Amino acid sequence: MPITQADQFAIELLQHERLARGLQPLAVSEAISRVAERHTLWMDSHDKIDHSEGGTTTVLQKFSDAGHNLGSGQYAVGENETFSAGYPGNLEQQILGLHIGYNSSPSHSAARYNPSYNAIGIDVRTGDLPGFPNAYFDAEEFSSTTNGPYTVGVAYEDLNSDGKYNIGEGRPGVVVTLTRIGSDGIPEDAFTATTGESGGYSIPSPPGTYIVTAQFQDSSPSPPVSVHVRSLNIKVDALIPAGTRIPKLVPYGQ
């Protein structure tokens, strides 16, 4: 399933909180997000929170059903779930309220800030509860995978100049390229990804030193930055100043 800009906004809140706590950022997986989408749809249709969906499944089974191959490197999963009848304000404020609620709960925080997790899927949607036609549902799915580490990030046009991702600012079609540099200083393998509708990307990145660039296909590349990938994920955002087409790369986790 495509990651929406509302999903990405929720992900970015969590990513920066994890980074502030000295934890690795999470690679975003569409397969894991299918688990979250299935679960928010179930919560909306049944008006309840239940990890087992009425005793019909388990979190592990939901991952398997969604095509997340638990037999080839994935070895731990977790799930957070919540809904709200609504907070005052716009969609971003609803998501921020859910984020704060999760962080106020020790059990939910234990999943969000588990240092062993390195991948996430998420689904945020508007639905209805009895008497509340504009309720909000959210599911966060976590996994540990030996298929990393990853370089992750988001490309966004900073329309309000606040240096943060907001809904409506994600930019698809930005090509992010990591070129691994050998011990002799000569470029070796290149790994690329093109940002989706939310502006997000995740690239498997074997440990090493990389030169990173980002560009729209019809414009000049960003100034390059050098990053070091060790055993954990890193984050490199492509911040696009308002009204321009040339990103500025912002690395984290270095």
> Whole-angstrom Cα distance, residue 221 to residue 3?
25
Q: How far is C-alpha 90 from the chain's CA centre?
A: 21
Q: What are the residues whose beta carbons fall under 8 Å from the beta carbon of 147, sequence distance 6 or more?
A: 72, 73, 74, 204
* Number of residues written out for the chain: 254
Per-residue confidence in pLDDT tens, the chain, 254 aa: 689 999 999 999 999 999 999 999 999 988 899 999 999 999 999 998 999 999 999 998 898 888 776 555 556 899 999 988 888 889 999 999 999 999 999 999 999 999 999 999 999 999 988 888 889 999 999 998 767 899 999 999 999 999 999 999 999 999 999 999 999 999 999 999 999 999 999 999 999 999 999 999 999 999 999 999 999 999 999 999 999 999 999 999 77
The C-alpha angle with vertex 14 and arms to 178 and 60, in degrees rounded to 5, equals 90
What is the DSSP-derived secondary structure letter of residue 220?
P
Burial string for 104-142 (b: 16+ CB within 10 Å, else e) reads: eeeebeebbeeeebbbbbbbbbebebeeeeebbbbbbbb
**Strand pairing category for 225-229 and 208-216:** antiparallel
